[in-house]
Structure 1
Amino acid sequence: MKLLLTSAGVTNPSIHDALLDLLGRPIGDSTALCIPTAQYGHPMVDPAMTWRFISGTSDLAMCGLGWKSVGVLELTALPSIGQERWVPWVREADALLVAGGDAGYLSHWMRQSGLADLLPSLHDTVWVGLSAGSMVLTPRVGSAFVQWESPAGDEALGVVDFSICPHVNGEGRPGNTMAEAQVWAAGLPNPGYVIDDETAITVVDGSVDVVSEGRWALLDAAS
């Protein structure tokens, strides 16, 4: 897969351009499936917020970017309908738009649904993660971000070898502080990217790049 791991969606021209590069075509010529599942695992998310994400009317720029088409892939439904139905939907999509919420809940349902097992075969698909939708692909999310008590604790899918602390937007702004991020990083066995809402990380064929019009840092507790 090609990964665009964001804190708050496609928030600026640099992240928008990175998305276009990963797609290899205009957004208006690309199809997407949105995955809202993580939202149901977070106590601060209500049904209205989920609808705004799906409908593209949220302040978080994901589903409302002008896609050729957008469908909804709810992971909790997939085990009951059979892979012969939903796997073709995923394979035909150009992008998966993955909402924020609780990364542990999302990780659990990615495993239960079978989507986690499918990821290695999706070579040309672009994964566009937002907050927990980005964190779910990391080895560990860190205990500070655990809201739903996952059987796996704070372990996620380990598609990449670094963790992500999103929404580090500075003192006096909504989100996390750098001091909190440093405590988070100290509890990890692997490096962690600290990113604000104007920053994203791209991963293509194992090559990691940071796209930012804001602030970010790479912290390694072992160094």
Structure 2
Amino acid sequence: MDCVFGFVGNGFAVVAADTSAVHSILVHKSNEDKIMVLDSHKLIAASGESGDRVQFTEYIQKNVALYQFRNGIPLTTAAAANFTRGELATALRKNPYFVNILLAGYDKETGPSLYYIDYIATLHKVDKGAFGYGSYFSLSMMDRHYHSGMTVEEAIDLVDKCIMEIRSRLVVAPPNFVIKIVDKDGAREYAWRESVKDAAVASA
């Protein structure tokens, strides 16, 4: 039931993901962060099998850090996306990872970018993308409301529209979402969107 989506705005990229860790009919956690900070200016949001998702994203994060340690310069967002795609392609012929990725980053020379990488190692640079059951609704909302040059406020409003649509349309909708943003100031958590039920439990 993963729901991961993101898009590029004017000088930034924003990514949102549900925070539910589920197996079959059981919910194990409702605060699982599925968006990892790769380095100071990159985010990697992943959906798929929990073990594959955690293991693969940590593997990519450590290798990106290792490259910067060895060479003294960080990978560009495009280079990190191509490295990630290469590792998925290699694994596909041995022991594949069932993980789909949205990789967002900001580079001084090229600005913000978003890369779509699926579990069979397809790589595309996109303006907007989504994975999971929530993609049916978030993509339609982005098709309707997204435009290039969005401000942060407009982007967060669109993220909220997508979340509300997912919550109202999916039979088993994830209650909580995390939103992260990357721009010239770096990659960071922007906000959480909790269900009314979970917010009431937290305040009790």
TM-score w.r.t. structure 2 length?
Answer: 0.32
Q: Greater relative contact order: 1 or 2 (C-alpha under 8 angstroms, separation 6 or more)?
A: 2
Q: Normalising by structure 1, report the TM-score.
A: 0.30
